[in-house]
Amino acid sequence: MIEDIVMTANNLELDEVQIVAQRYIKREDGLLIYPRKEDLKTAGSGYDALYNIMISGLTVDRFNGSVTRMGEEVSLYIDGRKVEYREFQNIQPSSIEKIEYIDIPSGKYIRDKTVINVILKYPTTGGYLAVDGKQNIGYLQGDYNLTTQYVKKNLIYSFFGGYYIEKDHNKGTL
């Protein structure tokens, strides 16, 4: 004789699912770093973001705009293009997707001792404007910068302008 089998509902309900990935991915030539939102939230510049991420062995001087490793200057890149102080300073921290820390450079970075390459994420439409200025009262000091970027589908329009002026502070003192 065949008996009936009765099944009862046994449901397990989840409130939320959280997927956690590694922030630091070790590669042959260094690290690939995905910054947390907390790292970028309080940052006002590219140097602040790099300082907040705290890469072991790097010294980030946010005020003078320098990055060193074991006393040697680190080369700074944005999307694979070498940049100077002002352009790195004006990175929108919220636009940072990932950071490549390369301590064994090869290929196009072969002439550098250590490399930081910031990879930016680009929206399909939109843009930003960043203005940076410094002036000391009295004998001229200067340092004015402007960065703007507009993205429309696959086209990226970028503009960077900077100005620096300085006079000798030792002349004319009382």
pLDDT digits (tens, 9 = 90+) for 69-86: 999 999 999 999 999 888
- 170, pLDDT greater than 60: no
3-state secondary structure of 108: helix
pTM for the full predicted model: 0.64
Whether 55 and 33 have beta carbons less than 8 Å apart is answered as yes
pLDDT digits (tens, 9 = 90+) for 131-163: 877 777 666 777 788 888 787 877 878 887 877
Q: Across the strands, what pairs with 127?
A: 150
Residue in 115, 128, 37 with CA at minimum distance from that of residue 83: 115
- 174, pLDDT greater than 50: no
